[in-house]
Amino acid sequence: MELKRVVVTGIGAITPIGNTVEEYWNALIDGRSGAAPITQFDASLFKTQFACEVKNYDPNNFFDRKEARKLDLFAQYAMIATDEAIADSGLNMDTVNKDRFGVIWGAGIGGLKTFQDEAIAFGTGDGTPRFNPFFIPKMIADIAPGHISIKHGLRGPNFTTVSACASSTNAIIDATTYIRLGKMDLCVAGGSEAAVTEAGIGGFNALQALSKRNDDPKTASRPFDKDRDGFVLGDGGGSLILEEYEHAVARGAKIYAEVIGSGLSADAYHMTAPHPEGLGAMNVMKYALEDAGMSPQDIDYINVHGTSTPLGDVAEAKAIVGVFGEHAYNLNISSTKSMTGHLLGAAGIIEAIACILSVKNDIVPPTINHFTDDDEFDPKLNFTFNKAQKREVRAALSNTFGFGGHNASTIFKKI
């Protein structure tokens, strides 16, 4: 059967460096860090005392008090980003066929704060089992697409993808597949996370995964730098309106880019560490190129997973050289996590947005916080250190890799 084409017609975001798409994109190109001391709880006793939180956020600006109490922060971010994406798409929500309009959402954890608070309340009480009646529906990871569909009346496929830090990339891939197969015309695809909590910081500290650069948070996320010491945890979310190409053309929609290919693979190696030779990362990029019908020479920019961990950055750089060969030295490579921190299940969507806007605007956001070269990396690779670079971006590839060895990549192309 002939697969249908899928395009991006709407974008929304709420991130540590901007609460709208425009703010987010401008901050990326300016190279601004979103890292700062944690404000949501007293982190003074934690090994890591900073994170990339969403700034100047007041739920009462978006929800009435009664509604906000029923929504974990990750679901609030999901609804806010999706409202922006729908508005940006120019869709007439009164006339669109909502039976063929789905929601596929990614979340690596879901309502962590809700779970944490309820467990603490029970553990510090008198043993009487008193739980908030909204405990379960606030906490479960699949509630975000449920709320989106209820608000907008979207009756197409509706579920959550959970693959750790690859979750929202999986959401984009699944949504693209359903549209390609003719199962729906439109889909909200995205992800959100709100793990900057005592449990989130404490848990990742116990894994020795987070940077402990408490004296200088803004420079703590430094992918591909010799002195990188772990990632910076971030909160937020992003949303895309994915649409069947002919459907978009028929209504005169603006089109940002085409979702041209994707890949999925597993490291089959370790619970948290990447394959040391980047085998899973190599495979997932190869599969994405094959799915797109592209050669390595067709890609101009890779937004890497690039978390600022000692092992992960090396494995990914090896994988890029392994897949792209000599063309690797013609690529722009950047890790926007150097600015946003690591949004876990929402990392893939906000990095996909960075790729889409790079394709649209022919500019590559930087990898900030580079101070010292590391001999582990091929010096001929262009990591777009410290300053955005203008160039034609015909197609961009976005990589996301999750605990458990889950790898997912997507390619966005000019149209």
Catalytic residues: 165, 305, 342
Spatial contact of 185 and 155, defined as CB atoms under 8 Å apart? no
Q: How far apart are CA 368 and CA 409, in angstroms?
A: 22
Beta strands in 184-252 (DSSP E): 186-193, 236-244
Q: Where are the alpha helices (DSSP H) in 90-158?
A: 112-123, 135-139, 143-152
Q: Which residues contact 405 (CB under 8 A, 6 or more apart)?
A: 266, 267, 268, 269, 270, 274, 275, 280
* CA distance linking residue 192 with residue 16, whole number of Å: 12
Beta-bridged to residue 257, according to DSSP, are 8
Bridge partners (DSSP) of residue 390 are: 363
Structure tokens at 268: 């089959």
Q: Kindly state the DSSP code that residue 271 receives in the 8-state scheme.
A: S
Other C-beta atoms closer than 10 Å to the C-beta of 70 total 15
Task: State the sign of the Cα–Cα–Cα–Cα dihedral 145, 164, 121, 62.
Answer: negative
Quick count: other Cβ atoms within 10 Å of Cβ 389? 14
d(CA 146, CA 75): 10
Q: Amino acid letter at 81? A: A
Count, in order, helices (H) and strands (E) of the chain: 13, 14
- The DSSP line for 193-205 is E---SHHHHHHHH
Q: Which two tokens stand for residue 69?
A: 């109490």
DSSP 109: S
Q: In whole angstroms, what is the distance from residue 267 CA to residue 39 CA?
A: 36
How many other C-beta atoms can be found within 10 angstroms of the C-beta atom of residue 287?
18
d(CA 222, CA 206): 21
Residue 395's H or E segment, with its range, is strand 395-402
